[in-house]
Amino acid sequence: MAAAATAMTASSHRAAFVEGTRQFDIVGYSALKALGRRHSVTSGTFRVAGRDWVLVCRFDPAALSDVSLKLLAAAADSGSGVTATASFTIHDPTGGSKPMQIGNGEAESIIFTPSSSSCKQAVPDAFRKWEARYVRDDRLRICCTVRVLEIRLLCQTGRTS
């Protein structure tokens, strides 16, 4: 009787973060504030880890109120979701003041899906007090760092006798 062949399989799980940074300058900031109602402005599309993202800045009647990172629908339709972190800062366009953190400064892991494709952080109340430091030549600069978790599962099959 011949010995039965034994199948040998192996797999490896590889995970790494892919990072990208976006700078969004809002030129004409005073005109947007002067509208005196809730509205938003959206950045141009940018790519991180092969996915398309935009920043959305919302205004209340008095000033910038919150900033969101949005994964565009085509990229969110992958079914399993996209795990990422995002951090936001407001920068002095002249570099004279320290960047102001938006949100609590903790980059929480977020799963972006077609039904939940954005994360939002409130602009701190201190921004209203120090707004003049961060708005120069009627321009406000928002920076966002996105870290996307890339996972690859590699499977190998072999046969031994």
pLDDT digits (tens, 9 = 90+) for 88-129: 999 987 778 789 999 876 667 888 887 888 899 999 999 989
The answer to whether residue 108 is domain-embedded is yes
Range 33-40 average pLDDT: 86
Q: For the domain that residue 94 is a member of, what is the CATH number?
A: 2.60.210.10
In the chain, alpha helices (H)? 29-34, 73-76, 126-134
Find how far residue 49's CA is from the centre of its chain: 11
Tell me how many helices (H) and strands (E) the chain has.
3, 11
The answer to whether residue 10 is domain-embedded is no
The answer to whether residue 134 is domain-embedded is yes
The answer to whether residue 54 is domain-embedded is yes
1-5, 18-22, 113-117, 152-156: least confident range = 1-5
- Cα separation, 93 vs 138, in Å, equals 10
Number of domains in the chain: 1
Sign of the C-alpha dihedral computed for residues 128, 130, 101 and 94 taken in this order: positive
DSSP at 94 = T
Confidence bin at 161 (pLDDT 50/70/90): very low
Which residue from 58, 59, 25 is spatially nearest to 44, judged by alpha carbons?
25
The answer to whether residue 13 is domain-embedded is no
**For residue 127, what are the contacts with CB-CB under 8 A and spacing of at least 6?**
63, 64, 90, 100, 134
Q: Which domain holds residue 84?
A: 19-160
